[in-house]
Chain A
Amino acid sequence: MTTQQNQLNALENRVTWRRRFSIFSVAAMAVGLLVVGSLVLTVGSVHIAFRQVWAILVSHLPLVNLEVNWSSTTDMIVTGIRLPRIILAGMAGAALGVAGATYQGLFRNPLADPYLIGVAQGAALGAVTGFLLPWTFLGGYLIPVLAFLGALVSVSAVYLIARVGKAIPVTTLILAGVAIGSFLISLTSYITIISADKMPGILSWLMGKFSMANWEQVGLIAPFLVVGLAVIFIFARPLNVMQLDEEQAEQLGINVERTKLILMAASTLITAAAVCFVGTIGFVGIIIPHAVRLIWGPDHRTLLPLAALSGAILLILADTASRTLFPPTEIPVGVITAFLGAPFFLFLLRRKKKAVF
């Protein structure tokens, strides 16, 4: 009886300890994001002291009256140029990290990410088309809106083609995703080649950039991101259950088809939101979830928030490197994520040759 009691306490202790560790990790990562975010605010063509950066940020809070001992230009650099750019990069990183983790969990496939099922390619085609259209009624929103529509259309096409009866088998989904993705890439390449004078703009979008970031863009994608992330976080436990096969998940009371549909819609929404202003940025959706899983384990209730926070940190750092390494030239951020991401991925594979997933 006493050994039984001990074992019971052991399980309870283990679960409680794990939960505390998760909460602590999420909190620590959030603090890390704040520190990294404010540190990179100091970096750029003009160096601004760390204390001054915080003073400027705090002075913009309501009900705060600080003695202003900095120029309005400094304020403009921090809050008008660098801050929206950092926030946009952070939001894109969070979205790509969470979307990658969700697609991987949903399809029980370690390779699943926004690129595998055609979402990113659809967004790219939409955006590139936008560069060539003479329409002006949408102003600067033409490209993001078309990117968004492209992502939705391509994921719907993949979904409908892959559907067999009432279900979407993983193999047909990935085959359809790869086929449609390749088809969309060929269209995008064709459009890029015939675009003549617009080619440089298109190419820089395709490689990912944050140089045009502003508060308007932040405000436009933030609601989509918040809603998408909230939905995904709420469905973290069903996503855990779906790591068993679909039949077992159904027998445990999960409405599998509905859960898949909701999670697919939410991750497509945040992918499109991430991609529409900043272009296609690879490797974040695959590296971040794997790295988090290796350290914290496969429970989506911990994995998803940590993927959001670490994705944000990674992309903020990558973007900072992109704008500060070779000034005034900006290296496309997609180039940096691929340059760092690919070796990191190989390192992970070497270190843990068996089940990474």
Chain B
Amino acid sequence: MIKLEMQGISLSYNHAPVVDKVSFQVVPGEMLGLIGPNGCGKTSIIKALSRVLPLRSGKIQLDGQDINRLSRSQMAKLIGVVPQNPLMPETFTVAEVVLLGRTPHLGLLRHESAGDLKIVEWAMERTGMSTLASRKIGELSGGERQRVTVARVLAQEPVAILLDEPTANLDINHQTAILDLIRDLCKERNLAVLIALHDLNLAAQYCDKLVILKGGRLFTEGTPRQVITAENILAVYGMNSLVYPHPENTLPVVLASNKADNRSNNSRISEK
């Protein structure tokens, strides 16, 4: 079982500590949501897992192997990353960008084989981009661009996928469409998926497990039903809330509380 495991990792950004001794693991076929307020260390953890940010201490293991021992292309064959705001060349076509996903599987001078093209075609098919294959990136909507990046990551054929706020700046229909897609892929390809989200309701609906971070520390972890509670939200976000079961599936739904005493409570916290 190829699992991604963090053992007491600490990270700092320009010498300021941002993540302190966090341990958790992502297993194949499981969608793990990383939630918490802005600045709690979600993006830093994803950067550390993709080796963009070096560890200050602790260890990250993939399939029992320290990821620092892996070469760049070995890493790229195992872990695919959908960054927060991926930049793409406007004049490239969708197919050309998705083809770039085959990079770790190709040598410096080798052309893409029929096998590579088959995988690229599958990745575009699976993300609903086949009909847009020869469209230029500059002509796509935000939701379509996000799908191109997911297709490019699928073309890498990784065992684990990391996503940093993939629903940011998308309309609600595109948010659910991209998360539906990622959950389906997670189950059918048995991928280990780590996804940073700031929308608690989306996180509760889509993730099998959640890790809540607060100030760079792991606050709690568990299933959405276990950890999405009014007490935890008050402790982590300093906000009173109402948590109801979703009418269709009883998963927790968070609503901001509008009572006057709650609002004053709220402003007291933000003042401190």
Contact = CB atoms under 8 A, between A and B. Distances in A.
Interface of A: 4, 7-8, 10-12, 14-15, 19, 108, 234-235, 237-238, 240-241, 243-245, 247-248, 250-255, 293, 297-299, 354-355, 357
A10 B133 CA distance: 10
Contacts of B95: 11, 14-15
Interface in B103-136: 103-104, 106, 108-109, 111-112, 114, 117-118, 120-121, 124-125, 130, 133-134
Contact of A251 (B50, B71, B117): B50
Given A248-B86, A251-B50, A234 B72 contact: no
A357 B101 CA distance: 22
Contacts of A8: 117-118, 121
A245 B87 contact: yes
29 contacts: A7-B130, A8-B117, A10-B133, A15-B117, A234-B109, A237-B106, A237-B108, A237-B109, A243-B88, A244-B86, A244-B97, A245-B87, A247-B50, A247-B52, A247-B83, A248-B83, A250-B52, A250-B72, A251-B50, A251-B52, A251-B81, A252-B76, A252-B103, A253-B71, A253-B77, A298-B92, A354-B138, A355-B91, A355-B138
B117 A11 contact: yes
Nearest to A233: B109
Given A241-B100, A298-B91, 4 more contacts: A14-B95, A250-B50, A254-B103, A355-B138
Nearest to A5: B121
A241 B86 CA distance: 13
Given A250-B72, A252-B156, A255-B72, A11 B108 contact: no
A11 B90 CA distance: 20
Contacts of B81: 248, 251
Q: Which of B91, B109, B118 has the most CB of A within 10 A?
A: B91
Contacts, number: 96
B118 to A, nearest CB: 6
B247 interface: no
A109 B203 CA distance: 38
The A interface is mostly helix, strand or loop, or mixed, namely helix
B144 interface: no
Contact of A299 (B83, B90, B96, B120): B96
Interface of B: 50-52, 71-73, 75-77, 79-81, 83, 86-92, 95-97, 100-101, 103-104, 106, 108-109, 111-112, 114, 117-118, 120-121, 124-125, 130, 133-134, 138, 156
A300 to B, nearest CB: 11
A252 B96 contact: no
Given A7-B121, A252-B156, A253-B73, A19 B92 contact: no
A11 B138 contact: no
Nearest to B134: A14
Nearest to B105: A253
Contacts of A12: 114, 117
Given A252-B101, A254-B72, A255-B72, A234 B108 contact: yes
A4 B86 contact: no
A175 B98 CA distance: 33
Contacts of B118: 8
B87 A253 contact: no
Contacts of B104: 252-253
B108 A4 contact: no
A7 B108 contact: no
Nearest to B102: A252
